[in-house]
Amino acid sequence: MKRFYVFPSVFEETSNDFAKVATNFIDGMKIQNFRNNRNYMIGNLALNEGVSPHKFLNSSPQDIDYQLLASTSLILGSQGSDNQMIITVGFPYITHPLYRDSAIQFFNGNHQVSFDTRTFGGPGIEKVSLNVKSTNVLTEIDGCIKAIREGQFAEKENFFVCSLGYGTFEVALSTVSGVIQRTTYSVNGIHYAVNIVKTELEKHYYLHMLTQQQVERAFQRGTFVINRHKLDVTEIRAKALQSYYTEVISPALRLKLSDEDFLKTSKLYLVGGGAMYKELVDMFIDEFNGVLEVITYPEPYLCASEGYCLQSLSAMQVQNKSAEVGGGITYVKDNVTYIGIDIGNSNTVVTVSNGTD
């Protein structure tokens, strides 16, 4: 059985000690002695206790935010065991060639990570040793396609897939023979619409120097709290999403998808956190009414990570098959954990399997 862990992709340095401010690790993640012996709050703890929780947009494996989120993900993925880990991570199509090698270099090998257990009622600082045996790196769109084809849908036909992420919007046509590379494309993500809402509000309100991530959380809720008053922004958000679709998504689809492509499939899958906005989904349905069946992946923000986990499991099968003919290393299932890590600009998702799914 796969297990999913989701936490906000934010961090903030801290010198404070926290005692029992959360009920579990995922709500009280505090990494100790990281890079020049600095301490950092991660995820929900950073949002609850921090002043300026943040993350860089589409960061690289050499950036501190990526390494913090990655190290925290490995702790979650290890499940408290000393198992070897086979992991798969991903990047947007546009940054994948730039970051692939550095991601492998960062993840592979042994990691020593310290974290503070006092935040969720533990006795103190705990240091864990994490062993990553191998790392696979996919594009986000390939991870989503993997989940659609090998996950609960087990899709056997051709389909378009649109990934609606915070940092990037991506599109591709997946056929039974593989992805048609000409159709693969990345443009601005949901942050385009978030910035529209922020700009509109700043005409009338002082937003107290909120970080982009704090603004994005309020965008998700549809509510800002300004000067102790709740402000409903769902109407402004709907208009911003309409502008985003009209100015970014629709032109991208017209640019990359030819009329001939629409003869190859009758399905379009929507994945990524942006597929949680009904207004945005309805715009796809309206544009492709009578041409494509628009399918929203269940819990679409989990899709890429699930695909990455399936890739890790596939890597195990290939290596074991190679070993049967005398070529590779055989991993013992009981001593290996298979993990998919999606370090998104909004949330980080960790999918874990013990290989018996």
Nearest one of 61, 89, 59, 63 to 77, comparing CA atoms: 89
Distance in angstroms (rounded) separating the CA atoms of residues 282 and 259? 22
Residue-wise pLDDT for 144-176, tens only, equals: 999 999 999 999 999 999 999 999 999 999 999
Amino acid symbol at 161: V
Q: How confident is the model at residue 79 (pLDDT cuts 50, 70, 90)?
A: confident
Residue-wise pLDDT for 137-147, tens only, equals: 999 999 999 99
Distance in angstroms (rounded) separating the CA atoms of residues 154 and 269? 13
Distance in angstroms (rounded) separating the CA atoms of residues 295 and 2? 23
Bigger pLDDT: 317 vs 258: 258
Q: Can you tell me the mean pLDDT for 283-304?
A: 97
Q: Can you tell me the mean pLDDT for 191-214?
A: 92
State residue 227's pLDDT score.
Answer: 85
What single string gives the DSSP state of each residue in 292-333? -EEEEPSSGGGHHHHHHHHHHHHHHHHHHHHHHTTSSPPPPG
Q: Which of 34-38, 49-53, 326-330 has the lowest mean pLDDT?
A: 326-330
Instruction: Say whether pLDDT at 194 is over 90.
Output: yes
Side by side, which strands form the sheet with 109-116? 3-8, 347-353, 336-343, 84-91, 125-139, 109-116, 30-34, 38-42, 11-13
Q: How confident is the model at residue 322 (pLDDT cuts 50, 70, 90)?
A: very low
Q: In which element (H, E) is residue 195 found?
A: helix 191-202
Instruction: Say whether pLDDT at 41 is over 90.
Output: yes
Tell me the percentage of the chain whose pLDDT exceeds 70. 94
State residue 340's pLDDT score.
Answer: 98
Q: Can you tell me the mean pLDDT for 9-16?
A: 96
Q: Can you tell me the mean pLDDT for 339-350?
A: 97
Distance in angstroms (rounded) separating the CA atoms of residues 266 and 316? 34
Q: In which element (H, E) is residue 229 found?
A: strand 229-232
Q: How does the average pLDDT of the chain come out, rounded?
A: 93
Q: How confident is the model at residue 209 (pLDDT cuts 50, 70, 90)?
A: confident
Q: Name the 3-class secondary structure at 164.
A: strand
Buried b (16+ CB within 10 A) or exposed e, 332-351: eeeebbbbbbbbbbbbbbbb
Q: Can you tell me the mean pLDDT for 270-297?
A: 97
